[in-house]
Structure 1
Amino acid sequence: MARLRRTPPHELDPEAKTLYDGITSGPRGRFMVDEHGGLTGPFNAMLLSPPVGDPLQRLGAAIRYRSTLTDRARELAILVVAGHQDSAFEQSAHEPIARDLGFAEEQLAALRAGDTPELDDPGERAVLRVARALVTKGDLDDEEYAVLGERELFELTTLVGYYTTLALQLRVFRV
């Protein structure tokens, strides 16, 4: 059972309402609002502390919409985190996106189980390798470090950290 009530926008204080408007007016907004206007997923908890929640949601938007990672690489890495963290919300939110990007059911099942899916693209195999190392051991050896460019590696480590944070919050708040 969820630990947080989804607060309708008309009940939010001004600071939380500004954050709510920022989340719902962006590209993810239409997916994160319930029938009463309350925020779903990790965004509801962000309203508890707008000074922390706003930079966190802006980081997520940058990762999703402004990084150099391909859409498939991004979703692959998110699903690695979701599988490792056993985050049902992240899986249910991102598996449909991955399907739309051409991931097969067998690949999604492998990611869910923490197995290695068949991937034709060498860049995606590199992202998978690095993301798995990050979630399982929290570091990279020199060989793993060298499989991606530094910018892509920076963006991928940020993505893994962000979605790990969300998985923790989703678990704690029982979303």
Structure 2
Amino acid sequence: MPRLPRLTPDDPASRALYDKIVGGPRGTSMLDQEGGLAGPFNAMLLSPAVGDALQELGAAIRYRSALSDRARELAILVVASAWDSAFEQQVHEPIARSLGLTDAQLTAIRSGRPPELGDPAEAAVVRVATALVTGRDLDDEEYALLPESVVFELTTLVGYYSTLALQLRVFRVTG
């Protein structure tokens, strides 16, 4: 049972945040059937200043990162699996499928196993993301798998989606 009701942007700060999310690159995809913000975005209205900074970080990760779309979705799904975040899986598995990931690859990630990938860079992203969510660190070999700029973006992505997964769990958001 959700702990947080659907919030309405009833003050200037929360209205500005709502409009920024809906008017940005995510568009209306983060709206529920009643026009409220879905998933983690609803809770962001509780603290518009923090919510805005958090959603802006997410927009940078999703839309301005050097990670390829497939690598980004693979990493997001590794985090979703580690946190058992049904919402993130529901949102990001269709995106991953549209980018050519197979059901077998998605099942492997959901099960905590490395998927069979033909691209060594994607396999390295999965290995590093998995190390970050399971060991919360990288050994020297894992650190060396990717350029440092990618390691920076990937650690930021893992931290951001872990934050969302934690908020989704605390507020009991399931779908």
1:11-90 alignment to 2 at 5 Å? 12-90=10-88
1:152 counterpart residue number: 150
CA distance in 2, matches of 1:34, 1:90: 15
Contact 2:80 2:86 in 1 (8 A): yes
CA distance in 2, matches of 1:132, 1:35: 34
1:99 counterpart residue number: 97
SS in 2 for 1:36: coil
Contact 1:8 1:37 in 2 (8 A): no
Contact 1:8 1:36 in 2 (8 A): no
CA distance in 2, matches of 1:87, 1:113: 13
RMSD over aligned Cα atoms: 0.8
State the AA in 1 paired with 2:97.
R
1:136 counterpart residue number: 134
- For residue 81 of structure 1, report the CA deviation from its aligned partner: 0.2
State the AA in 1 paired with 2:7.
T
CA distance in 1, matches of 2:68, 2:105: 17
Tell me the matched-pair count.
173
Contact 1:80 1:112 in 2 (8 A): yes
The runs of at least 4 consecutive aligned structure 1 residues that moved more than 6 Å come to none
Structure 1 residue runs of 5 or longer lacking an equivalent are: none
State the AA in 2 paired with 1:58.
E
Q: Taking structure 1 as the reference length, what is the TM-score of the superposition?
A: 0.97
- For residue 8 of structure 1, report the CA deviation from its aligned partner: 3.5
2:172 counterpart residue number: 174
- For residue 95 of structure 1, report the CA deviation from its aligned partner: 0.0
1:8 counterpart residue number: 8
CA distance in 2, matches of 1:30, 1:38: 10
CA distance in 1, matches of 2:158, 2:46: 23
1:126 counterpart residue number: 124
Contact 1:3 1:174 in 2 (8 A): yes
- For residue 14 of structure 1, report the CA deviation from its aligned partner: 1.0
Stretch moving more, 14-23 or 30-39: 30-39
Contact 2:39 2:87 in 1 (8 A): yes
SS in 2 for 1:110: helix
Q: Taking structure 2 as the reference length, what is the TM-score of the superposition?
A: 0.97
SS in 2 for 1:39: coil
CA distance in 1, matches of 2:26, 2:39: 11
Contact 2:114 2:127 in 1 (8 A): no
SS in 1 for 2:53: helix
